[in-house]
Structure 1
Amino acid sequence: MFGLTRARRTAAALAASVAAAATALLTAPSAVAAPEPVVGGTTTTTAAYPFVMQITDSSGNQFCGGTLVAARKVVTAAHCVVGESAGSVRVVGGRTYLNGTDGTVGKVSRIWIHPDYTDATSGDDVAVLTLSASMPYTAAKYVSSTDTGVYTAGTTARILGWGTTSESGGSSNQLRTATVPIVSDAGCGTSYGSDFVASDMVCAGYSSGGVDTCQGDSGGPLLIGGVLAGITSWGNGCAEAGHPGVYTRLTTFSSLVTAQVNS
């Protein structure tokens, strides 16, 4: 799988993580390669999506996305923060442009990673960051464990991020968004075989490709009906025909997320 699939964390951040923590799971042969901005989308703003957060290193370099679900809680992908410490990560809200200086930079006081997480293609790709101080932005609602019907094949979902705009391209300086249809579990299984874990994952994208999340979009939201229903996780390349993006199926982990939000 290495080199064929990729978690959607930025290559620069992956390289830094490898240098800082050679034992981090992202460097293991079973892990997926580095992530990508929204391919085939359009520019948007954090004013339109105030709950979309940048996740950066301590120097302000964005490597993943996240979703504010409470004033001090951000949902992201486990593969974004495995091997990181609370002091090595920052969360930036209200900043549409990567090179901007506006918005709010939040320090992280605690990182919770699903205890069963090993790598993105094995599932359990969910993490919750607790911030040292509240973010002054509207939080997103997220699915409950009983909202499983939101993943009906063909349902329109929205993706967002600052990732690369093509499989081998550079990151987008401005937040981007696109819509993609939910893919049936059977269709996703055809694309990814045993790497697709239906209980943990959901796919979204067009059979012809062309629109997808990419490197740098990892951890960002998959919205259905304006509600957080998935987390950008992994996929085979970016926007390739027959290989939709794979997202963490948040209904499966909603109760665990709520426990963290309330802690």
Structure 2
Amino acid sequence: MFKLLFLVLLAASVHQARPDGRIVNGETANSMAVAPWQVSLQTSYHFCGGSLISPTHVMTAAHCYQRFGVTVHFGSVSNANSPNVFDVSTFTQHPSYSTGITTDYDYAVIKMAQSASMNSNTQDIALPDDTDYTGQTAQISGWGQLSGSGGTPTLLQVATVPIVSEDACKSQWGNLRITDRMICAGGAGTSACMGDSGGPLAIKDSSGKWVLLGNTSWGSSSCTTNTVSVWSKNANQLSWINGQMNS
């Protein structure tokens, strides 16, 4: 269900990667309580996901950046019928964001023009520490395509994915494509693909609190479910993220 918004060719590989995002082989969420931090970024249509990290701030991917006309929709499983539609005050990409040999520093923070009220369908999610969650199961969610050539749902899709090691990720994508700003997951029957870029990779920490490990960044151009996908790793850039929230 997740893909990136632009095409990135992977050298010396049979795979292609592109920024878009969607969830493949997920399930329809029964309520927003399963992912109350999830937001839909829209112009005249849904184009990316994101996560509430405070009542006024959304974490997303830098490749989701749009200069004008973006609104933040949240609080409903349906992205076509959101009870909350907020304007964007600022949309800031990480200054080191790049799309050369790989998609690196794929971080952006949105400041909304209003403050969200927290309830069972709307909650912010905590930022992570540097805990290694390799081998554990995380949750992904979004409104992206349901397959490489499939349609886009209006109801939120949710799936689980295993966190994989950096070495395992590099074995699929190559050493030059994977950096310290990335965390990899999937390859076990579900996938990230087009339309959910910027959306959450979330996991419960040792205390049972949900934390936002990453933001959907890039993966297989055909959203194959046996290929790992890549998220921008929030623990690597906490200083920059917190700086945006405090500015």
TM above 0.5, yes or no, is yes
Determine if the alignment matches structure 1 residue 214 to structure 2 residue 209.
no
Relative contact order higher in (CA < 8 Å, ≥ 6 apart): 2
Are 1:204 and 2:185 an aligned pair? Answer: yes
1:107 aligns with 2:87: yes
- CA RMSD between the two structures: 2.3
Deviation digits for residues 128-164 of structure 1 (CA, Å, limit 9, x no counterpart): 0011111223211111xxx322332x11111000111
Aligned residues: 231
C-alpha contact 2:77 2:155 (8 A) present in aligned 1:
yes
Q: Residue 167 of structure 1: CA displacement?
A: 1.0
Which residue pairs with 2:38 in the alignment?
Answer: 52
More strand by share: 2
* Deviant stretches of 4+, over 3 Å: 26-34
- For structure 2, the residue ranges without an aligned partner over 5 or more in a row are 11-15, 205-209
Counterpart in the other structure of 1:76: 60
Higher helix share: 1
Q: How far did 1:97 drift?
A: 1.1
Q: Which residue of 2 aligns with 1:142?
A: 127
The TM-score with structure 1 as length reference comes to 0.81
1:36 counterpart (7, 15, 21): 21
Describe the superposition over 1:91-128 as per-residue Cα deviations: whole angstroms up to 9, x where unpaired.
1111211332x411010011110001122833100000
Structure 2 residue identity aligned to 1:234: W
The structure-2 alpha-carbon separation of the partners of 1:150 and 1:194, relative to structure 1 and needing over 3 Å to count, comes to closer
Q: Give a deviation string over 1:174-225, Cα, whole Å, max 9, x none.
A: 101111101111110010003432301111013xx42011100100000021
1:28-82 deviation line (CA, Å, top 9, x unaligned): 989954523311111113233221100001x2x100000000111000000011x
| Aligned-residue identity in percent | 36
**SS of corresponding position for 2:23:** coil
Whichever residue aligns with residue 32 of structure 2, its letter is T
> Given residue 3 of structure 2, which amino acid in structure 1 is its aligned partner?
R
**SS of 1:257 mapped into structure 2:** helix
Partner of 1:22: none
SS at match of 2:238: helix
Specify the alignment match of 1:151 in structure 2: 133
Taking a change above 3 Å as real, the CA distance of residues 32 and 80 of structure 1, as seen in their structure-2 partners, is farther
Q: Are 1:96 and 2:77 an aligned pair?
A: yes
